[in-house]
């Protein structure tokens, strides 16, 4: 039964049909699956498989990429309220695009993947000043700042991740808040993340989710006295 549900869910997401995807998961609940099974056995495996297929296919449709992550995030949010033991969020991230950068699609895909992996995301939007990233991360007690940049000058320039790193250092909070970056320039130069002072980077939404969730877990272990 589960295999058929997974196939139906994938088909709905390939068609970017959000309502059909909701109908599949509601049907799965009626058929006896728990909300936990829907998330962990249907939504997340489908997200992983589809993201890796889409990432490998240079002709992949951008809308499909975007909708896969959005639908996964929406279905997960619907299911979470029905979990028998509501899961604790893995942790908290503040996310935005670098100062001067208005490219929002990559950030939105990453946000969707993070939500599906049960990471709480505070989305600061686009064109975010470095000071805002740091102020909001402190205010929300976030473990990670995630900066998306699609242009070379916003990825490598002085007003993006480099400035966030400088502020974390000035304020003495580098051990508490980690900095993760992503966007096309980091894919072209895989060492660029180090040059700008980030702790990590990831090439796509799913890898971003995993890298960030791992950093949060490591941070939380350090917090335990
Ligand atoms: C769509 C697009 C636009 C749209 C943006 C719409 C929107 N709401 O996002 C519009 C038309 C507005 C636009 C405007 C401009 N654009 Co434009 N744009 C693109 C385009 C075609 C696609 C970008 C995109 O959405 N990719 C798809 C997403 C899914 O991929 P992604 O962002 O890389 O995200 C993935 C990963 O990188 C990663 N990721 C992303 N963020 C993060 C963050 C973290 C923390 C992590 C871990 C991972 C991660 O996960 C994501 C999901 O898998 C690219 C060309 C290209 N093929 O890349 C040019 C491109 C980025 N644009 C470019 C330029 C120059 C501009 C403009 C200056 C054009 C102009 N003259 O006005 C303006 C700048 C506006 C501004 N100030 O930001 C150049 C940049 C050149 C450079 N090397 O710096 C590019 C490369 C086009 C080109 N070849 O010249 N653009």
DSSP helix/strand/coil, 102:
coil
- pLDDT by residue (tens digit) across 51-63? 777 777 767 777 7
Contact yes or no for 86/24 (Cβ under 8 A) = no
Whose C-alpha lies nearest to ligand 1, atom 44?
Answer: 182
For residue 97, being part of any structural domain is answered with yes
Mean per-residue pLDDT of the chain: 89
Structural domain containing residue 139: 92-223
Look up residue 128 and give its DSSP letter: B
Residues 64 and 97 placed together within one structural domain of the fold: no
Residues 98 and 73 placed together within one structural domain of the fold: no
Residue written as token pair 């959000």: 18
- Above 90 in pLDDT, residue 129? yes
Q: Which of 22-26, 114-118, 189-193, 196-200 has the lowest mean pLDDT?
A: 114-118
Kindly state if the Cβ of 154 falls inside 6 Å of ligand 1: no
For residue 85, being part of any structural domain is answered with no
Residues 6+ apart with CB under 8 A from 57: none
* Residue among 74, 72, 129, 124 at smallest CA distance from 98: 129
Residues 12 and 98 placed together within one structural domain of the fold: no
Q: Mean pLDDT, to the nearest integer, of 182-210? A: 94
Kindly state if the Cβ of 129 falls inside 6 Å of ligand 1: no
CATH of residue 10:
1.10.1240
- pLDDT by residue (tens digit) across 8-43? 999 998 888 999 999 999 999 999 998 888 988 898
Residues 47 and 96 placed together within one structural domain of the fold: no
Kindly state if the Cβ of 182 falls inside 6 Å of ligand 1: yes
Give the model's pLDDT for residue 163.
98
Residues 60 and 103 placed together within one structural domain of the fold: no
Residue written as token pair 């997340």: 44
Residues 185 and 101 placed together within one structural domain of the fold: yes
Interatomic CA distance for residues 24 and 5, integer angstroms: 7
Q: Report the relative pairing of strands 178-182 and 200-201 from DSSP bridges.
A: parallel
For residue 86, being part of any structural domain is answered with no
149 alpha carbon – ligand 1 mean position (Å): 8
Contact yes or no for 21/7 (Cβ under 8 A) = no
Residues 133 and 214 placed together within one structural domain of the fold: yes
Residues 133 and 209 placed together within one structural domain of the fold: yes
Out of 80, 114, 134, pick the residue that ends a domain: 80
CATH of residue 199:
3.40.50.280
| Number of domains into which the chain is organized | 2
Residue written as token pair 């993947």: 113
Q: Which of 184, 201, 212 to mutate to test the pocket of ligand 1 (most atoms within 8 A of CB)?
A: 184
Give the model's pLDDT for residue 87.
67
Residues 73 and 148 placed together within one structural domain of the fold: no
What is the pTM assigned to this prediction?
0.84
- What the block records as the tokens of 190 is 């895989």
Interatomic CA distance for residues 108 and 93, integer angstroms: 13
């Amino acid at each position: 039964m589960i295999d058929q549900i997974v196939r139906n869910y994938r088909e709905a997401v390939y068609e970017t049909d959000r309502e059909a995807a909701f109908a599949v998961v509601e049907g799965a609940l009626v058929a006896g699956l728990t909300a936990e099974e829907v998330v962990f056995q249907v939504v997340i495996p489908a997200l992983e498989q589809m993201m890796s297929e889409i990432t490998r296919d240079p002709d992949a449709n951008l809308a499909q990429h975007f909708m896969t992550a959005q639908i996964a995030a929406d279905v997960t949010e619907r299911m979470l309220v029905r979990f028998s033991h509501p899961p604790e969020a893995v942790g908290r991230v503040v996310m935005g695009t670098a100062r001067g950068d208005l490219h929002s699609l990559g950030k939105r895909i990453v946000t969707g993947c993070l939500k599906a992996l049960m990471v709480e995301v505070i989305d600061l939007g686009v064109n975010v000043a470095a000071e805002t990233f740091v102020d909001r991360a402190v205010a929300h007690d976030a473990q990670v700042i995630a900066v998306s940049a699609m242009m070379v000058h916003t990825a490598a320039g002085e007003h993006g991740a480099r400035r966030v790193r400088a502020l974390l250092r000035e304020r003495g909070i580098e051990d508490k808040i980690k900095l993760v970056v992503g966007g096309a320039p980091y894919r072209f130069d895989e060492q660029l993340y180090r040059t700008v002072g980030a702790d990590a980077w990831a090439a796509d939404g799913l890898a971003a989710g995993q890298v960030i969730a791992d950093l949060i877990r490591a941070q939380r272990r350090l917090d335990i006295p």
